[in-house]
Amino acid sequence: MIIRKKCISRRTLLRGVGAAVALPLLDSMIPAMTAQAATVAAKENLKRIGYVYVPMGFNPAKWIPDGDTLDKLPFSLSPLEAVKDQVTVLTNMDLQNAYPGSHATSNSAFLSAARAKRTESTDYYNGITVDQIAAKRIGQNSQLPSLELSMDLLSTVGQCDNGYACVYQNNLSWASPTEPLPSEAHPRIVFETLFGEGGTPEQRQAALKKRSSLLDSVTLEIKRIKRQVGSSDRNKIDSYMENIREVERRIQMAQRNVKDNPLPDLDRPVGVPAQYGDHAKLMFDLQLLAFQGDVTRVVSFQLAREASTRTYPEIGVSDPHHPVTHHGNDPVKLEKVAKINRYHVSLFADFLKRMNEIPEGDGTLLDHSVYLYGSGMGDPDAHDHSNLPIVVAGGAAGKLKGGRHIRFENPTPLSNLHLTLLNKVGVPLETFSDSTGTVEDLFDPVEM
């Protein structure tokens, strides 16, 4: 038997003017004449992990499921209904190294599980974060080892919270105990980081004038690749490129229509959607493209910042977020906290649904990814770091079980979950920070 299937390299890039666009995983990238080729490709190429941080804890009465399943989702988690089979809720996890309780340590310990040095100066010291541990192992085979995103355009400096430098609240990811990694909130800059351009703001603006669309400059390359592949792969390419085009369109529309800042802020960037929800959805879509094109395999995303005074009138909460969380058990304030919790979850749920609609390998993009969503604070009124709101989503190449609520009998370190997920995506570690073991209940009874 002679097989004439032509194999396209997974590293194939579409090159145009100031652009290098990676392709999604295609059937044509799986070598012919190899048994279980699709399964091998999934294990080797589809190890992705993401982290989404939400600040200031939660209202547990509207979050924690009643039983061991997610048959009936509580109010704040109800947006996850469509993907609940790929979601696990974990209750009674804590961050002991985040004490004494503060907003700064809630953020700094979430991915590091480390005790941040209490300082208001530049001698800050935290711990390497799990996303960066993953980046050093699984991120080296992609264009970007990791991608750090946020929703806040400006970073504060100096002392921010209870004697802690602002660096602890500004940065979710740390490459080492003394190297915080700044995150990017501007969609245009993120897009160009993923797909080309770069340079100073002036250089980027000049480059934008020379082209109407990134895809326009790689049209010939796209046509050439499509002539080499089958109809299924052509459909995948078309879908991926349509997603890129849509993100481009929304960024350009935001750049044209962004509302003027009434305050004299000369550093205010353009191109950021005026509405929080639109901005967040765009940042999630950029993560989707980064994973789909294998531009990166590790993402961290600060969906909102600790001590944020953002209001959410679009969901009927006109009070600033931070003051509302100091609820004093006031049922009115607790209801507002639950509404904010639900709104943040809804943005994450929309992203998961999008991932679950994109075919890839022997499943979907969500099947081959894993995300940890949560906060470093439990009860915001007490500023404690116990009983954290934690959700794990995705399939991790068929190894993660979903549709469940894992309620630990005793307080369990969040570092146990971090260690578990690192092992899940192919980063073998025996311990991480103050871990005491792994969360074996997350696994299906298959080989790790």
* 299/290 Cα distance (integer angstroms): 9
- Whether 23 is covered by a domain: the verdict is no
- Whether 448 is covered by a domain: the verdict is no
How many domains does one find in the chain? 1
pLDDT (tens digit per residue) in 44-83: 455 899 999 999 999 999 999 999 999 999 999 999 999 9
- Whether 408 is covered by a domain: the verdict is yes
Looking at residue 340, its pLDDT comes to: 98
- Whether 424 is covered by a domain: the verdict is yes
Res 443 pLDDT > 60: yes
- Whether 195 is covered by a domain: the verdict is no
* 147/272 Cα distance (integer angstroms): 18
Task: Pick 266 or 164 by higher pLDDT.
Answer: 164
Domain with residue 85: its CATH number is 3.40.720.10
- Whether 403 is covered by a domain: the verdict is yes
Looking at residue 258, its pLDDT comes to: 46
pLDDT (tens digit per residue) in 97-116: 999 889 999 999 999 999 99
* 44/38 Cα distance (integer angstroms): 10
Domain assignment of residue 415, given as a range: 46-185+272-442
In order of 104, 287, 348, 397, 447, the CA distances from 354 in angstroms are 32, 11, 10, 17, 28
- Whether 261 is covered by a domain: the verdict is no
pLDDT (tens digit per residue) in 307-358: 999 999 999 999 999 999 999 999 999 999 999 999 999 999 999 999 999 9
Cβ atoms of 248 and 215 within 8 Å: the answer is: yes
Regarding pTM above 0.85, the answer is: no
> Is residue 433 very low, low, confident or very high in pLDDT (cuts 50, 70, 90)?
very high
Task: Pick 262 or 383 by higher pLDDT.
Answer: 383
Least confident stretch, 147-151, 215-219, 221-225, 238-242: 215-219
Only one residue has tokens 């959607």, namely: 273
Instruction: Calculate what percentage of the chain has a pLDDT beyond 70.
Output: 77
Tell me which range, 166-180, 207-221, 268-282, 433-447, is most confidently predicted by mean pLDDT. Answer: 166-180
Q: What is the chain's alpha carbon radius of gyration, rounded to the nearest angstrom?
A: 22
Looking at residue 238, its pLDDT comes to: 80
The distance in angstroms from the start CA to the end CA of the chain is 35
- 144 phi-psi bin (left φ>0, alpha ψ -120 to 50, beta other): beta
Structure tokens belonging to residue 260: 């003027």
Task: Pick 409 or 262 by higher pLDDT.
Answer: 409
- Whether 226 is covered by a domain: the verdict is no
Looking at residue 311, its pLDDT comes to: 96
